[in-house]
């Protein structure tokens, strides 16, 4: 296994494919949330951060973005972008039931013609209910299915159970896993939303993924060997192919996030992603704590924090669009600053003179510290940042929110000070 603290490898390539401004017409509304509160006595004022944005890449390359999640608001905004990053559709979503509460969109996708499919839950006075909806590309309702949420019963006809994922293959066939109950995936009739069993591999529960051709992938634990395995299931042959994975991939396999058309798995741990080949071995692994974009030049900077017994450093790698890795700068956290601020440190933004602004050491009890470095990487001073640091910072979302296309490209949602960005990571 590659050292988990090593910065991004030189075989990686980064490209900004989507840049959408915050808060203007046909842009993305900016939602600010406070950092989570905990049951500790603290005088720390929770700082504001931008709410996460959810993304999915379709089998034909278009990118679906849920820009205002109802977790934070009472409405949602759905955008669809072309493979080249051009805005195709911009749809405001409302709950399936008026005057409802507890609205949650569990998953979302489009077919090749742009119709929108949503799996949702709603809470009302009678309990919690599942909703499966089809909307046109303009957001007009086509059909809706509903049924009671249940953690113990599963009935596809009544749409009773727990459903959290949706999938579409390269031919626009639609699927909904019921794998919170057992190893069951149903096919969705696009004309009326009725469900019929598609694949059933028995007693198993968890998340599943599809390769665009209808084959299903998931992780299985083998207690006799103590290993996690990357498993494919062929619904037509009704056969599992179980591949035990290297021991170093055990923790990664707790967080699978996708599969490509070759059956290679992608899994996340912290801010790291690993690609697993069909033999169960590590193909490549990358660690990215943050990304900053020079929006004038289009230059991309990745930030990776490393720590040893004697040093704490932020490795900043500068990537040119056409030439790959251009240079690396190591920013040493001053020892007197690192003491008492031992958390992860990230490059947060850069100024017009090329100075690096690094933030780190934030805990539930204490504020973090900001250190400023010259363009040559020399520390120039440190300070407790102002509460509005979010107005200047770039923040890469957690690796579990990254998306993988069928060619194995990884899409990274990045919250910037003036724009929302999607960065595509390709591995040569």
Structural domains in the chain? 12-34+49-288+398-427 (2.120.10.30), 290-395 (no CATH)
Q: So what's the pLDDT on residue 33?
A: 84
Q: How far apart are CA 16 and CA 20, in angstroms?
A: 11
Share of the chain above pLDDT 90, in %: 74
Q: Which of 260, 234, 293 is nearest to 16 (CA)?
A: 293
**Weakest-pLDDT range from 155-159, 170-174, 343-347, 359-363:** 359-363
- Ordered DSSP codes for 249-294: GTTGGGSEEEE-TT--EEEEETTEEEEE-TTSSEEEEEE-SEEEEE
Cβ distance 117 to 167 under 8 Å?
A: no
DSSP 8-state code for residue 183: E
Confidence check: pLDDT of 139 > 90: yes
Nearest CA to 313 among 344, 273, 276? 344
CA-to-CA distance for 39 and 367, rounded, in angstroms? Answer: 17
pLDDT of 389 = 84
Is-contact 48 34, C-beta < 8 A? yes
The lowest-confidence range among 71-85, 180-194, 346-360, 366-380 is 71-85
Q: CA torsion sign, 419 to 6 to 10 to 373?
A: positive
| Contact by Cβ (8 Å): 231, 219 | yes
Q: How sure is the predictor about 66, in pLDDT bands with cuts at 50, 70 and 90?
A: very high
Lowest mean pLDDT among 41-55, 132-146, 261-275: 41-55
Asked whether 355 and 380 are in contact (CB, 8 A), the reply is yes
Average pLDDT of the chain, as a whole number = 91
Residues 185, 177: contact at Cβ < 8 Å?
yes
Stretch among 20-24, 86-90, 256-260, 292-296 having the lowest mean pLDDT: 20-24
- Specify the range with the lowest mean pLDDT, choosing from 28-32, 129-133, 184-188, 234-238: 28-32
d(CA 424, CA 54): 15
Give the mean model confidence (pLDDT) for residues 404-417: 96
Strand spans (E) along 379-418: 379-383, 395-396, 403-404, 410-415
For the record, the structure tokens of 100 come out as: 């409802």
- Cα 302 to Cα 289: distance, rounded to the nearest angstrom: 8
pLDDT single digits (tens) 246-272: 999 999 999 999 999 999 999 999 999
Structure tokens at 314: 């932020």
Query: For residue 41, what pLDDT is reported?
Result: 54
- Going by C-alpha positions, the residue among 337, 384, 378, 328 that lies closest to residue 356 is 378
Q: Token match 């591995």: residue?
A: 427
User: Does the structure show a pLDDT above 70 at 243?
Assistant: yes
Residue pair 304/8 in contact by the 8 Å Cβ criterion: yes
1, pLDDT greater than 50? no
């Amino acid at each position: 296994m590659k050292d988990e603290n090593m910065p991004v490898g030189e075989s990686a390539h980064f490209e900004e494919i989507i840049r959408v401004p915050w808060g203007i017409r046909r842009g993305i509304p900016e939602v600010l949330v406070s950092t989570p509160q905990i049951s500790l006595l603290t005088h720390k004022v929770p700082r504001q951060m931008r709410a996460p944005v959810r993304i999915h890449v379709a089998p034909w390359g278009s990118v679906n973005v849920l820009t205002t999640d109802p977790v934070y608001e009472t409405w949602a905004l759905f955008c669809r972008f072309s493979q080249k990053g051009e805005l195709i559709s911009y749809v405001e979503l409302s709950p399936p039931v008026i005057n409802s509460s507890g609205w949650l969109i569990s998953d979302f996708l489009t077919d090749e013609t742009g119709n929108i499919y949503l799996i949702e839950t709603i809470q009302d006075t009678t309990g919690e209910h599942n909703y499966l909806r089809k909307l046109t590309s303009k957001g007009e309702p086509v059909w809706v299915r509903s049924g009671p949420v249940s953690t113990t019963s599963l009935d596809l006809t009544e749409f009773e159970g727990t459903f959290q994922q949706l999938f579409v293959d390269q031919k626009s066939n639609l699927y909904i896993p019921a794998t919170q109950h057992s190893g069951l995936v149903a096919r969705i009739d696009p004309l009326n939303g009725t469900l019929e069993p598609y694949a059933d591999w028995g007693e198993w529960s968890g998340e599943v993924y599809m390769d665009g051709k209808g084959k299903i992938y998931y992780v299985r634990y083998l207690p006799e060997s103590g290993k996690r395995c990357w498993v494919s299931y062929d619904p037509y042959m009704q056969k599992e192919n179980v591949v035990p994975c290297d021991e170093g991939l055990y923790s990664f396999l707790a967080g699978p996030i996708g599969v490509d058309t070759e059956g290679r798995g992608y899994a996340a741990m912290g801010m790291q992603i690993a690609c697993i080949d069909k033999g169960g071995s590590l193909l490549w692994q990358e660690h990215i704590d943050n990304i900053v974009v020079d929006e004038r030049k289009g230059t991309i900077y990745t930030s990776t924090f490393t720590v040893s017994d004697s040093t704490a450093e932020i490795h900043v790698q500068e990537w040119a669009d056409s030439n790959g890795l251009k240079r690396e700068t190591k920013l040493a956290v001053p020892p007197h600053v690192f003491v008492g601020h031992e958390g992860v440190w990230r490059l947060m933004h850069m100024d017009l003179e090329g100075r690096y602004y690094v933030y780190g050491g934030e805990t539930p009890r204490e504020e973090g510290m900001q250190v400023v470095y010259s363009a040559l990487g020399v520390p120039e001073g440190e300070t407790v940042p102002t509460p509005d640091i979010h107005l200047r910072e770039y923040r890469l979302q957690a690796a579990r929110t990254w998306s993988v296309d069928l060619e194995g490209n990884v899409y990274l949602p990045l919250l910037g000070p003036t724009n929302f960005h999607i960065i595509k990571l390709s591995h040569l």
